[in-house]
Amino acid sequence: MAVIFPGGCSMAGSSFGRLFRITTFGESHGSGIGVVIDGTPSGITIDAKDIQKELDRRRPGQSPITTRRAETDRVELLSGIFEGKTTGTPIALFIRNREYKSSDYIKLKDVYRPGHADFTYEAKYGIRDWRGSGRASGRETAARVAAGAVAKLVLKTRQITVTGYTIEIGGITAEKRDLAVVEKNAVRAPDIEAAQQMIRRIEESVGEKDSLGGIVETAIRGVPAGLGDPVFEKLEALLAAAVMSIGAVRGFEIGAGFSSARMKGSQYNDRYFVENDRVRVLSNNAGGVLGGISTGAQIEFRAAVRPPASIAKSQKTVDTAGKTRTIEVEGRHDPCIVPRIVPVIEAMAAIALLDCLLVQSAYKSFETKR
């Protein structure tokens, strides 16, 4: 629900979920980034190391092709966990900002940077935090990853796993799907040969003072049939909303996705068969979801990630006074956000999936009692 302030302005959109609900807070150059999580079942074992492991996958400065901002992203568990287990009360997690340089942005504070949310934030609120993009910064995603780590731990109790990996950067496409090598290369690709080419392409873009985008694929295993709701709260719609809420994501497709537009029905339809008394499908063009409800097959989707907006190359723009300006964005920025966005996409998918699982459990419980 939006809160209306004097002057007609509203501030909403910082929460996601129905029964498993997260609310993030904080800015890129503020005291820190955090998240409050409501709806975590009680009795789930939570170790700070498990959350930290996910944050380490997203943190800056982890390889030569990421930003040099040296944040450690150490998570602080403030509430909701007692003696290593969830209590069922709100969980609050906090990550302090320790290494930032607001001075890098002073000369750009009155300029609308191309590709950034400077103009739109000012148009909506009449004010904006120009220090490293403030709330619009990708730094906000650290809070999502922390919350996603909790969601993953709950899903693990149901043998459900969420795995993301890079399948394309700068036009270089991974031909293989060897998940064993994903965390062994800087771009998190499931194809070592393609990964090496992707890294070289990123290095080339740095030399050109430019940036690159790409595509991340995600596979969700262990999801039972029957999860999700028809019509407006379809499982794929909720996953899309979760993933598309990430600032750098500009496209989403599930299963055969856009290629299904070029198929015939006889090609697209997934044929059913029975194995060990369970209904299964021979193919998976639907991506594990039909009618908004999971089929029991692996859920597969892809997200298109745009190139980072902060580039050192000279660009034309205007300032708040309407005057034409030429800028070169300085500071420490990722030439390609794709490798670091993989754990963010996993986190949002896990959050959406756990929310659906809890809604389904509540429905089943009600039906059983009735």
**For the chain, how many residues are written?**
370
pLDDT of residue 9: 41
Identify any residues that bridge with 212 across adjacent strands, giving them in sequence order. Answer: 336
Chain mean pLDDT for the chain: 92
**Which SS3 state, helix, strand or coil, does residue 285 take?**
coil
* DSSP-derived secondary structure for 192-236: HHHHHHHHHHHHHHHHTT--B-EEEEEEEE-PPTT-S-SGGG-HH
Pairing of strands 172-173, 315-318: unpaired
| Placement of tokens 């966005």 in the chain | 341
Least trusted range by pLDDT, from 70-74, 337-341, 345-349: 70-74
> Are 338 and 345 in contact, with CB atoms under 8 Å apart?
no
Pairing of strands 91-96, 75-79: antiparallel
pLDDT of residue 145: 98
Alpha-carbon span 6 to 230, nearest angstrom: 39
**What pLDDT, in 10s, does the model give residues 276-326?**
998 899 999 999 999 999 999 999 999 999 999 999 999 999 999 999 999
In eight-state DSSP terms, residue 76 is: E
Q: Is the model's pLDDT at 142 over the cut of 80?
A: yes
**What pLDDT, in 10s, does the model give residues 62-80?**
777 876 666 789 999 999 9
Full-model pTM:
0.93
The four Cα atoms 160, 165, 167, 169 give a dihedral, to 10 degrees, of 150
- Domain edges within the chain: 14-369
In eight-state DSSP terms, residue 271 is: P
Q: Is the model's pLDDT at 10 over the cut of 50?
A: no
Half-sphere exposure of 191 (CA within 13 A, CB side): 15
Alpha-carbon span 166 to 341, nearest angstrom: 9
| Residue 339: Cβ within 10 Å count | 29
Q: Buried b vs exposed e over 73-110: b needs ≥16 C-beta within 10 Å? A: bebeeeebbeeeebeeeebbbbbbbeebeeebbeebee
pLDDT of residue 289: 97
CATH code, residues 14-369:
3.60.150.10
Query: Rounded mean pLDDT of 225-241?
Result: 96
Position 345 confidence tier, pLDDT thresholds 50, 70, 90: very high
Percent of the chain at pLDDT > 90 equals: 78
pLDDT of residue 68: 65
> Are 189 and 174 in contact, with CB atoms under 8 Å apart?
yes
Least trusted range by pLDDT, from 11-15, 113-117, 247-251, 337-341: 11-15
Q: Is the model's pLDDT at 44 over the cut of 90?
A: yes
pLDDT of residue 366: 61
pLDDT of residue 180: 97
Q: Is the model's pLDDT at 140 over the cut of 60?
A: yes
- The number of helices, as runs of H, and strands, as runs of E, in the chain is 7, 20
The four Cα atoms 338, 341, 345, 350 give a dihedral, to 10 degrees, of 140
